[in-house]
Chains A and B, each alone.
Chain A
Amino acid sequence: MNKINFKLDGIDVEASSDETILSVARRVGLYIPTMCYLKKTTPSASCRLCVVEVEGVDGMILSCQAKPTQDISVTTNSEALIKERTNIMKLYSVNHPLECGVCDKSGECDLQNKTAEFGIDQQSFSAKDQYREVKEWGLLGYNPSLCIMCEKCTHVCNEIIGDDAIEIEYGGYSSTITPKGSDTLDCTFCGECIAVCPVGALTSSDFHYRANSWELTKVPSTCPHCSAGCALEYEVKNSHGGEKIYRVVNDYEHTTLCGAGRFGFDYIADGSKDEMKLQSAVDAIKGAKAIRFSSQISNEEALMLQKIKEQQGLKLFNEDARVYSKFTTPFSSLATREDVKSSDAILILGSRISSDNPAIRYAITEASRHRGASVVNLHPIEDALMQNVITQFVKYEAGSEEGVMALLVQRLVCDVDDATKRYLDSLDDGYLSAESNFGEDELDEIAAMLSRKESRVIILGADLLSHPRAENIAVLASLLQRYAGFKVLVVASQINTVGVSLICDLDLDDKSIDGTVGYGMPAEFTISYDDSADLQVAPLSQQEGTVVTLDHQLLPLNVAVEFNGYVLNDIANILGIGKRDTVDFTSELPQSAGFKSTAFDLLENFYQHDGLDTRGYFIDQTESGANSTLEDIEDLAEFNGTVIYRCDEVLQFNALTAKCAALGADSALVGSAQFAVAARVSDGDLITITSAGTDRVREFKLDNTLKGTIALEPMVDREPLSLLGRYRYEKVTITKGSCDE
């Protein structure tokens, strides 16, 4: 890439061709004030504080969007510039309410800082003030009189999140932010607009007027809800009624957080110590044949379970991690979210990504907005939330993922070895495309799009992992990686699915086995973060430990609020394999699986000023070397009749998010008008859903944004055992009324 040399305040600096004057200045440590600049979005150029002078050029130049040219000489500070900036600040301060004392920003305010910096101590301009109504938008509150129209919120909403839910209503002095196309805000409530707001205009309703930022202790940690492991900081305050998490914030310059991370923290448990319960847990483990555990545990706990397995000679069941581990074996390495952000062609297969993993969705949105990436979504159900970024939607029949993957491979790979070529030639593509409803034209369109694209990513979702033919699908997908230049991202379902799959030696879950102990999963003796469990242990946000995200990054977790009960290490200590602290296991994580021997206390957890990620470390992805063989495609399963898709609402991931009052878990079955007609139900009906011997009563809700004949059923409130090893689509019978009647 060509380097550009120019002078910045007399210093010789070098810039790459995509850098702006402002980013060069920030990099070399020169200060240019800004009000509206956000590194992760395109410059909105609304504040005009970042003006600089270029020698030989008349007028002032906006450094946030101007790129330097060879040999120019830039001045960032002169009397004229200071006067210009001071005038802008004077205008910002016109009629800004003097309620700094009670404002939620409580001193962390850009406007306050800049006003002090430029010494604006009186209002030298005046404007007739007008009535501005304070708005309540669910989890968000908006106070237009505090708003300075920097446009950061609309930019993140559009470019990073992809909701595109708020816009600016232009009107000069009376401009405001309004929900796009409706009276109230209808978005996924990620709260990123709250995070980026430089003043107290956009606030979290839950936090509104509850505390000042200086009273809150920041606990940097990792979000425990989905597999993305986003960086967050719990803000904790000891107040009347003990220590509590007041809010969750993120380093919004470099990271993005979804609503589950930001608003889903009120599941904190106090815990209590009861020697009897602890001893009965130890006895249960000693007498157990197997431990069934969830992936919502830290690496250290996974290592302890593995040691318990070796000591006690029992089996370890974790279907989620076992399936993930088997699925990812054929791939040489897996992509990260950064790869998605920097790609220009993205295929999504088998995932309703907006609810499965919002972090990946944001990466896709960023790729689409900033790099013009083409995004193809292949799924049986169209997703209205993704329509802003999707360039092509391909609808296939539920259950036909193997066929879809085979057709993709057949069309997209080239220069394959002979055996693969023979295999691909022998595919009955007529049958496959007829059964899967994935046509020639759609394939052509994908191939034509890909022919112009350099960096390609395919995202493989949970539908494929739960598919009965998951292993063959993975082998087929590995051909795309090997012969078609695709990077592969597999959507792990939970926070530490990847870590557990690397650490534990898992066995196939035999549901009929007697004598099981559950760790975060139901079993005969249950150890869980739930207070109804036989022994309550700390949830992830109240433990120290590490997790491995889907990016294969090991990240530290810290204790947000102290837990007064037991942790797994206490049990391990009685069994004689424990250590003083749980985190003493961190340096012992298996290096053969790619872990490093770094001790927990040496792990960093922040982003540097230039955005460099210093959190934890990346796991070396070891190639399994297992020879995977292609199997013949089986007859594609048909899903006729009433079909439902297990899919949580956006921001719901697990039993913990379901507990969070702010996230408001809804247990209704959501279906389109078409589904309602086919299943003969109507909006608000109480229905009984029967599948594979289990009944559940739910309300039916009609959602007009949905299309097709497949309804969405939440899974956070379902018995985890009944979902083990089950494909995400289910054929059900629906009867009106509850079965008790």
Chain B
Amino acid sequence: MSLEEFKNRDISQSNYYKVDIDEYPTTNSAKFFQVVRRTFKGEMFVGLWVVLREMFKFNIHTLQYPKEKLPITPRYRAIHEMQRLFESGTDRCIGCGLCEKICISDCIRIDTRYDESSRKEVSEYTINLGRCIFCGYCAEVCPELAIVHGGRYENVSEQREHFTLYEDMLTPIDSAINGTQKEYPGFGAITPNESVKKTPLAY
């Protein structure tokens, strides 16, 4: 089909035709016989036969979901993760509050305080995933690459709160220290093949 043909929206043209459909029954008896006819014709087995045939062919395209998962693209925006600094394991988040500011669905809340070593410390950090629209602005605005979108898209739990606490989103400390923390590609991320220096704050 050429583009011109495709763009032609004139339905009066001959390549449009009407589907041949029987007249709907009008009398009660005709309606009754239509029901009987449909009930005993065995149309259901037509569909079942297709399934059965494909099953015995062993040519299955279905993903065995809980056991198998499709790889997701690096740009997929699922539940947030809070990253740590390499080696020292200190939280990357400096508590600047830009994610809270930029969040268009107003689902991030951050409370900070002055800690013992006179640094700004995040005392509470929550994301209300019931409100979050996963737009990714928080990750984009983060000056420290501290909040990123991870790949965990299974939002199933007994309580929504399970996903929203800072501690749950924060990388486990051992994976930060042994270097298995996953760096997420995306805006402002470390470019591939670039050697990552040890954290300068490790003193």
Contacts and interface: CB of A to CB of B under 8 A. Distances in A.
Interface string A226-245: 00000000000001100000
Interface string B151-173: 00000000000000000000000
A215 interface: yes
A83 interface: no
Nearest to A106: B97
Interface in A233-281: 239-240
A363 to B, nearest CB: 35
Interface stretch (B40-48, B78-86, B113-121): B113-121
Interface stretch (A203-211, A475-483, A598-606): A203-211
Contacts of A205: 114
Contacts of B98: 101
B181 interface: no
Contacts of B113: 209-210
A134 B118 contact: yes
Contacts of A212: 96-97, 101
Contact of A209 (B100, B109, B120): B120
B150 interface: no
User: Among B101, B109, B114, B124, which residue has the most Cβ atoms of chain A within 10 A?
Assistant: B114
B95 A102 contact: yes
B97 A240 contact: no
A31 interface: no
Interface residues of B, number: 20
B120 A240 contact: no
Given A209-B120, A214-B101, A101 B96 contact: yes
Contacts, number: 42
Contact of B111 (A102, A134, A208, A239): A239
Contacts of A240: 109, 111, 124, 126
Given A209-B113, A210-B111, A240-B126, A102 B101 contact: no
A501 to B, nearest CB: 44
Contact of B94 (A101, A106, A215, A239): A101
Contacts of B111: 210, 239-240
A209 B95 contact: yes
For the complex, would chain B's binding face be called helix, strand, loop or mixed by DSSP majority?
Answer: mixed
Given A101-B143, A240-B124, A215 B97 contact: yes
A101 B144 CA distance: 10
Interface string A81-94: 00000000000000
Contact of A102 (B94, B100, B124, B126): B94
A101 B119 CA distance: 12
A163 B68 CA distance: 73
A212 B110 CA distance: 10
A102 B120 contact: yes
Nearest to A203: B114
Contacts of A106: 97
A210 B112 contact: yes
Contacts of B100: 215
Nearest to A205: B114
A209 B101 contact: no
B1 to A, nearest CB: 55
Interface in A90-117: 101-102, 106
A209 B97 contact: no
A210 B126 contact: no
Nearest to A208: B114
B80 to A, nearest CB: 18
Contacts of B119: 102, 209
A211 B143 contact: no
Interface in B62-115: 94-98, 100-101, 109, 111-114
A239 B112 CA distance: 10
B114 A102 contact: no
A212 B108 CA distance: 14
A210 to B, nearest CB: 6
Contact of A239 (B95, B109, B143, B144): B109
Given A101-B98, A240-B126, 14 more contacts: A101-B143, A102-B94, A102-B95, A102-B96, A102-B119, A102-B120, A134-B118, A205-B114, A210-B113, A210-B114, A214-B97, A215-B100, A239-B124, A240-B111
15 contacts: A101-B96, A102-B95, A102-B96, A102-B119, A134-B118, A205-B114, A208-B114, A209-B112, A212-B96, A214-B97, A214-B101, A239-B111, A240-B109, A240-B111, A240-B126
Interface of B: 94-98, 100-101, 109, 111-114, 118-121, 124, 126, 143-144
Nearest 4 CB-CB pairs, A to B?
Answer: A101-B96, A209-B120, A102-B120, A209-B114
Interface of A: 101-102, 106, 134, 205, 208-212, 214-215, 239-240
